[in-house]
Chains A and B, each alone.
Chain A
Amino acid sequence: MKLKISVTPLRRGTKVDKVTLTIDNIKVEVPKDYTILEAAKLAGIDIPTLCFLKGINEVGACRVCLVEIEGARTLQASCVHPVSEGMVVKTNSKKVRDARKSNVELILSNHNRECLICDRNKNCELQSLSEELGIREIPFEGIKTEAIIDDQSFSIVRDQSKCILCGRCVNVCRNIQKIGILDFVNRGFDTQVAPAFGKSMADVPCIYCGQCIVACPVGALKEKDDIEKVWDAIENPDVHVVVQTAPAVRAGLGECFELPIGTRVTGKMVAALKRMGFDRVYDTNFAADLTIMEEGHELIDRVQNGGKLPMITSCSPGWIRYCEFNYPDFLENLSTCKSPHQMMGAIIKSYYAQKKGIDPKNIFVVSIMPCTSKKTECQRPEMNSTGYRDVDAVLTTRELGKMIKQARIKFLELEDEQFDQDLLGEYTGAGVIFGATGGVMEAALRTVAEVLEGKVFEEVEYTAIRGVEDIKEATLTLGGMEVKIAVAHGTANAGKLLEMVKLGEKQYHFIEIMGCSGGCVTGGGQPHVSAKTLMNVDVRAERAKALYEEDRILPIRKSHENLQIKKLYEDFLEKPNSHKAHELLHTHYKAREKFPTTEACCQEEAATTKDCMFE
């Protein structure tokens, strides 16, 4: 392959100075910028934590990780206390155990302890901690936090009565996503984690990425449950229910059944879906290939015909909402392509319905997604190109896990099965890698490179744009032209990149942005991973491996070589970006005001009441 690629990873430096300390009579040598918690981990000592979330929430708020330090007046929070030379620490004295227990008892005293019927039953960090600490009674009686439930949005439900004020959601939203929808409001016992002005999640510039849900150790934040809607459709004999699964789901679902992180469960997932009673089981990857055809040709057209550049990918609905609220100047830069599952829905209700002779009004499309934002995306009024909703219900990976359990399917014992193969069944390796940051870019390049160079490349792996660095850049020579690309994941990085573009510091032709750090594999709809596990594993990389593995074993790895995609164009869509393709597969965006105020005040930019939600 002739492509020249240069990469500039942005990395932090590491310190090498070390100190020696003693923890529970074990001598351990660690870098001097370590906390006691990190040092203990290195020594194989397990200190319990609750509010701690590595790299996201290191604030010492919950006082569960208390340890005794020789010479210190009081117990100290090990998650924030730095190590020092000669320090002597006890993590398991009676004083420490009693204090931890009291602190958790206090947290539990005003917690809504309806564990049996909680969404996080058996998967709750507070529940586990309470069990590990041997808490058998709550000696503190008092007022409970009022159960205010906000279920107004299509994506995220908040239950104040379960919130333990750990701040994990606050900090993931404020620092990792740089959005800041949730924060601590009020004071003392009345303290809550909530959006500004007591607004619902439906009325704030939330992008519904669901990273707050993933960060929540308890049941205070969860996705809007659509499980019953889907069971009802399956139960109805008049409805033809088609299910599609996003690439990242296969890399996460296994964790719902205690499989190691990054286990690829494609075959078992398909088998389970068939047993659950779906009439057709397809892979969204087919539509990912279709996206590449549309988006790739859109890029070529923009480059060759002086269209708006840089073109930015549009697969991630969280990113789209972020752009609509925060960077309306860039709306024209967004590819007009719908996200793959919406394309799939539109094709199912047109091409598929036609070929199968089924009235689209009797088709119910379910998308299994690693994403909570797609629940809101599928409700956007414009997502109905056939006259029917492209997609009727979106379930998260977690919800699918629950449904499989409800159906009492022995997931681990299932024999692998294949997706339905007719019409929309084929997919390539390019489609699979959509689920990881850099994947959409790589998939697009596999096609765009061949179209522009007019020849076939043997090597298809663009490893330079893989991995979890904040912002990745590369320059390629395609068809005699220098093409500059960039990849960003997580909206903080997206914002950083767009600011550079805005100021003219950086120029690109093509940018991939995904709303969640790591891309869809670590989307807000993926299974919860405990804070303890997150200390040891980079889930983003582990789950991405599963996708790159599937890419490698597939016979076809370029979207434009997908035979059923070719047939779809021959029989139905004519060619990429045709009128029909535009009607079904493309969409538009609109600037949204962050906090519309109805009151007309005398500000220069008079606050208008733009429609902020989807009526």
Chain B
Amino acid sequence: MSKHILMKENFEKLDQFIVMQKDKKGALIPVLNEAQKIFGCVPIEVQKKISEGLNISLAEIYGVVTFYAQFSLVPKGEYTIGVCLGTACYVKGSQKILDRIKKEINVEVGKTSPDGKYTLEATRCIGACGLAPVITINEDVYGRLVEGDVPEILKKYE
């Protein structure tokens, strides 16, 4: 875990948010969302803080974090690449695109490259079926791709 995200000011922000949510029913998800936003991930140190603040067991929090895809235990890369494996993209060959990206950046699905540059995710339908097959890199969307387009696109994010 890179140390710089576990800064005192980040924990203070989280504390303030926990205090606001504390007595509300179903406070865990909003607190986790906020933590993910503040820290960029919810590692054990952060989950422990939430566990104490909301009086919910660490196992329960960890269960929720590992259930929902929006939470991550380790910091995501500078660029998060999402490859849509929804039905339309899949029949249009997004698996090939995904495999090519894996090869190009040498990262497995769901993992982050050791240099912290890329995180690779296989997503469900992102609602851009008209552009199938689609990938996203952070906020950018690339559609109607063929495998050969991949190296050119990745060059922009080196």
- In-complex Cβ contact of A599 among B1, B7, B56, B63 (8 A): B1
Q: Say yes or no: A186-B66 contact (C-beta < 8 A), given A594-B58, A601-B45.
A: yes
Docked-complex contact B6 and A187, CB < 8 angstroms = no
Interface residues on B, range: 20 to 34
Report if B157 contacts A (CB, 8 A): no
A481 to B70, CA, bound (A): 61
Query: Which chain A residues border B62 with CB–CB below 8 Å?
Result: 183, 185, 196-197
Interface residues of A in 194-234 (CB under 8 A from B): 194-197, 204
Query: Which chain A residues border B63 with CB–CB below 8 Å?
Result: 183-185, 196
Docked-complex contact B59 and A195, CB < 8 angstroms = yes
Docked-complex contact A187 and B66, CB < 8 angstroms = yes
Report if B49 contacts A (CB, 8 A): yes
Report if A607 contacts B (CB, 8 A): yes
Docked-complex contact B6 and A599, CB < 8 angstroms = yes
Docked-complex contact B66 and A602, CB < 8 angstroms = no
Interface residues of A in 162-205 (CB under 8 A from B): 174, 179-187, 194-197, 204
Of the candidates B44, B45, B56, B57, the one having the most CB atoms from chain A within 10 angstroms of its own CB is B57
Docked-complex contact B59 and A181, CB < 8 angstroms = yes
A183 to B61, CA, bound (A): 9
Docked-complex contact A599 and B67, CB < 8 angstroms = no
Interface residues of B in 61-113 (CB under 8 A from A): 61-63, 66-67
A184 to B60, CA, bound (A): 7
Docked-complex contact A601 and B59, CB < 8 angstroms = no
Report if B3 contacts A (CB, 8 A): yes
A185 to B66, CA, bound (A): 6
Docked-complex contact A602 and B11, CB < 8 angstroms = yes
The contact string, 1 if C-beta is below 8 Å from chain A, for chain B 12-42, is: 0000000000000000000000000000000
A181 to B51, CA, bound (A): 12
Of the candidates A183, A186, A604, the one having the most CB atoms from chain B within 10 angstroms of its own CB is A183
Docked-complex contact B3 and A182, CB < 8 angstroms = no
Of the candidates A185, A603, A607, the one having the most CB atoms from chain B within 10 angstroms of its own CB is A603
A side interface size, CB within 8 A: 24
Report if A34 contacts B (CB, 8 A): no
Docked-complex contact B57 and A180, CB < 8 angstroms = yes
Shortest CB distance B6–A (Å):
4
- In-complex Cβ contact of B47 among A185, A196, A603 (8 A): A196
Query: Which label, helix, strand, loop or mixed, suits the secondary structure of the B interface?
Result: helix
Query: Which chain B residues border A103 with CB–CB below 8 Å?
Result: none
Docked-complex contact B67 and A597, CB < 8 angstroms = no
Shortest CB distance B93–A (Å):
25
Docked-complex contact A597 and B60, CB < 8 angstroms = no
Docked-complex contact A607 and B45, CB < 8 angstroms = yes
Query: Which chain A residues border B6 with CB–CB below 8 Å?
Result: 599, 601-603
Q: Closest residue of chain A to B58, judged by CB?
A: A196
Shortest CB distance A251–B (Å):
32
Report if A595 contacts B (CB, 8 A): yes
Q: Say yes or no: A603-B45 contact (C-beta < 8 A), given A179-B57, A595-B58.
A: yes
Of the candidates A179, A180, A181, A204, the one having the most CB atoms from chain B within 10 angstroms of its own CB is A180
Of the candidates B7, B56, B63, the one having the most CB atoms from chain A within 10 angstroms of its own CB is B63
Shortest CB distance A608–B (Å):
13
A329 to B9, CA, bound (A): 29
Q: Closest residue of chain B to A186, judged by CB?
A: B66
Interface residues of A in 445-470 (CB under 8 A from B): none
Shortest CB distance B42–A (Å):
11
Query: Which chain A residues border B61 with CB–CB below 8 Å?
Result: 196
- In-complex Cβ contact of A601 among B3, B47, B58, B66 (8 A): B3
Query: Which chain B residues border A599 with CB–CB below 8 Å?
Result: 1, 3, 6, 45
Q: Say yes or no: A187-B44 contact (C-beta < 8 A), given A174-B57, A196-B58, A602-B8.
A: no
Query: Which chain B residues border A204 with CB–CB below 8 Å?
Result: 59
Query: Which chain B residues border A601 with CB–CB below 8 Å?
Result: 3, 6, 11, 45
Query: Which chain B residues border A179 with CB–CB below 8 Å?
Result: 57
Query: Which chain A residues border B60 with CB–CB below 8 Å?
Result: 174, 180, 183
Query: Which chain A residues border B66 with CB–CB below 8 Å?
Result: 185-187
Of the candidates B7, B48, B58, the one having the most CB atoms from chain A within 10 angstroms of its own CB is B58
Query: Which chain B residues border A194 with CB–CB below 8 Å?
Result: 59
A185 to B57, CA, bound (A): 13
Docked-complex contact A183 and B44, CB < 8 angstroms = no
Query: Which chain A residues border B58 with CB–CB below 8 Å?
Result: 180, 196-197, 594-595
- In-complex Cβ contact of A183 among B3, B45, B47, B57 (8 A): B57
Query: Which chain B residues border A604 with CB–CB below 8 Å?
Result: 8, 11
The contact string, 1 if C-beta is below 8 Å from chain B, for chain A 573-606, is: 0000000000000000000001101010111100
Query: Which chain A residues border B3 with CB–CB below 8 Å?
Result: 599, 601
A180 to B57, CA, bound (A): 5
Query: Which chain A residues border B11 with CB–CB below 8 Å?
Result: 601-604
Query: Which chain A residues border B47 with CB–CB below 8 Å?
Result: 196
Query: Which chain A residues border B7 with CB–CB below 8 Å?
Result: 602
Query: Which chain A residues border B57 with CB–CB below 8 Å?
Result: 174, 179-181, 183, 196
Query: Which chain A residues border B49 with CB–CB below 8 Å?
Result: 603
- In-complex Cβ contact of A197 among B1, B8, B44, B56 (8 A): B44
Query: Which chain B residues border A595 with CB–CB below 8 Å?
Result: 44, 48, 58
Which residues of B line the A interface, CB within 8 A? 1, 3, 6-8, 11, 44-45, 47-49, 56-63, 66-67
Q: A174-B60, A197-B44, A597-B48 are in contact. List 7 more A-B contacts (CB 8 A).
A: A180-B59, A180-B60, A181-B59, A196-B44, A196-B61, A599-B45, A604-B8
Which residues of A line the B interface, CB within 8 A? 174, 179-187, 194-197, 204, 594-595, 597, 599, 601-604, 607
CB-defined A-B contacts under 8 Å, sample of 25: A174-B57, A174-B60, A179-B57, A180-B57, A180-B60, A181-B57, A183-B59, A184-B67, A185-B59, A186-B67, A196-B44, A196-B61, A197-B58, A594-B48, A594-B58, A595-B44, A595-B58, A597-B45, A599-B1, A599-B45, A601-B11, A602-B11, A603-B8, A603-B11, A604-B11
Chain A to chain B: the 3 pairs with minimum beta-carbon distance, closest first: A180-B57, A183-B59, A196-B62
